[in-house]
């Protein structure tokens, strides 16, 4: 999965143009969000094929700043503190989280500065979560 950082004008219809360009190319958005800071539009959206999404957007004159591979984690959402625990593990491994959001199927999506270290933390997190979820024998 890939995260695209997309730059949009802070004008009515910018998101519509983006959505239309992706729809015309039969590309689905899997998660993400958009916001405005200092009259500039920014978006981070998740795609199965970031290169194809980038081509569709750039063909429509929409600026794509970056395309990054992401980490996908499943948190135990019914347990408070999960976000703090996983982000603490990233910090302990000296991994800086650049972007964080959820996808459409409740995975935590992270764009990090060191993908290999982040993958190691994510793999350890996932295996720990799986072990804790197993029923314990008496």
CB 86 within 8 A of CB 126: no
E strands in the chain: 2-9, 31-37, 40-47, 63-69, 71-73, 97-102, 108-112
Domains of the chain: 2-69 (3.30.70.260), 71-133 (3.30.70)
Q: What φ, ψ does residue 82 adopt, rounded to 5°?
A: -60, -45
| pLDDT one-digit tens code per residue, 75-84 | 887 889 999 9
Mean pLDDT of 2-20: 96
| pLDDT one-digit tens code per residue, 31-50 | 999 999 999 999 999 999 99
Residue 29 has pLDDT above 60, yes or no: yes
């Amino acid at each position: 999965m890939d995260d695209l950082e997309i730059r949009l004008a802070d004008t009515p219809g910018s998101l519509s143009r983006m959505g239309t360009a992706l729809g015309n190319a039969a590309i689905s958005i899997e998660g993400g969000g958009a916001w405005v800071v200092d009259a500039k539009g920014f978006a981070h959206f998740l795609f199965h094929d970031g290169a194809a999404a980038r081509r569709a957007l750039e063909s429509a004159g929409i600026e794509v700043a970056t395309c990054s591979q992401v980490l996908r984690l499943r948190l135990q959402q019914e347990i408070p503190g999960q976000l703090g625990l996983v982000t603490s593990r990233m910090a302990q491994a000296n991994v800086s989280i650049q972007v964080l959001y959820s996808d459409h199927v409740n995975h935590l999506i992270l764009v990090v500065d060191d993908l290999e270290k982040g993958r190691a933390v994510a793999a350890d997190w996932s295996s720990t979560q799986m072990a804790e979820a197993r029923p314990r024998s008496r």
